[in-house]
Chains A and B, each alone.
Chain A
Amino acid sequence: MHELAIAESVVSAVLERTGGRVSVVRLRVGRLAGVVPDALMFCFELAAAGTALEGAALEIEERAGEARCRDCDSRFSMRDAFLLCDCGSADVELLSGRELQVTSVEVA
């Protein structure tokens, strides 16, 4: 359950930069980031309880895994964590999918 530690990091990152009075916290979470959005939602409520973020809503924007094949130069969406192109090459560059960021907050 590392989502609790992630949620605590979200709360502390937002509190540091805003000092509370936040009604919405927005995150960008890549599908390959190793974080389960539902579990993170659940943990955020726990982590925010008793802080200035208590009651704030969490909005998660999921980002699909995108990659580029260095051999055939095609870009493709990743269905799983395999760094493999349909052309058979494993020389693949990951373009997105590992994001784990607080993008913005709604402050009063």
Chain B
Amino acid sequence: MCSTCGCGDSDVRVTTPGAATTDGHGHGEHSHDAEHGHGERSHDHVHPEPDDELRTHTLELEVAVLAKNDGLAARNRVWLAERGITALNLMSSPGAGKTTLLERTIAATHRAVSVIEGDQETLFDAERIRAAGARAVQVNTGAGCHLDAMMVSRALEQLRPEPKSIVFIENVGNLVCPALFDLGELRKVVVISVTEGDDKPLKYPHMFAAADLVVINKTDLLPYVDFDIERLTADARKLNPDVQLVPVSAKTGDNLEAWLAWLT
């Protein structure tokens, strides 16, 4: 945790693989005075007389807890929209095949693609994306379980995506926490693999309620597992009546065209 302001991003690192730039703590544009504006330093409050010490009064605030993240996300969204960039927030449990889906997508799409990779540790995924032919930056969250709008803002500064391109934001593998944090993306995509089981929408309702699209991955393994696509579809729609679902196999490329059609 940042010792100045209590923000939790002291362990976050943003790295472009192959480049020498690692943004260590680097609060970037996150200036402690302006952004956090700790009032105790700016002295815009009144010091009560000693007699008032025991008296308290109620101050109505009515402020959204995530207002700061949502404000930064809105700024990211404007920045992306001004450049005609489509940003998609990809979320799933670890190992659902997000990176494999992206490798396939990079090879198959005509639009320029770049990727923000989120993981607690390692540059593995950013290196895979780079090997697949796209630019990538890796955000390592340290102990953090999700990406937030500040991390994405810092990553976009390093990534410098082309106008009119697609930016995939591959969130930390986790079906719980990433659902709550707006990053400034245009759409949220949840990837679920058939080996995880068809009960996931009911177990992780917030994630499926937030999704615009559910990609059902690893359909090549359907003959070997008990996974009922109908059940998953029905449960996801109970939580989110308008959600779209696309079954694919990122490994074999089966039905990838449906995913690519959704992208365009």
Contact surface of A with B, Cβ cutoff 8 Å = 1-2, 4-6, 8-21, 23-24, 27, 32-35, 47, 50-52, 80-84, 90-92, 100-108
Contacts and interface: CB of A to CB of B under 8 A. Distances in A.
Contacts of B61: 13-14, 17, 102-105
Interface string B29-72: 00000001111101111001000111111111111111111000
A34 B146 CA distance: 14
Which among B7, B8, B65 has the highest number of chain A CB atoms within 10 Å? B65
Given A81-B205, A81-B209, A90-B241, 10 more contacts: A2-B145, A4-B8, A9-B69, A17-B61, A19-B39, A19-B40, A24-B56, A104-B59, A105-B59, A108-B48
Interface residues on B, range: 35 or more
A59 B68 CA distance: 21
Contacts of B43: 19
A52 B40 contact: yes
A6 B59 contact: no
Interface in B145-186: 145-146, 148, 176-177, 179-181
Contacts of A50: 3, 6
Contacts of A107: 56-59
B86 to A, nearest CB: 26
A57 B171 CA distance: 33
A16 B59 CA distance: 13
B45 A10 contact: no
Given A34-B179, A34-B206, A100 B64 contact: yes
A45 B249 CA distance: 45
A2 B238 contact: no
B69 A12 contact: no
B38 A100 contact: no
Contacts of B53: 108
Given A81-B205, A81-B239, A104 B58 contact: yes
Contact of B65 (A23, A27, A83): A27
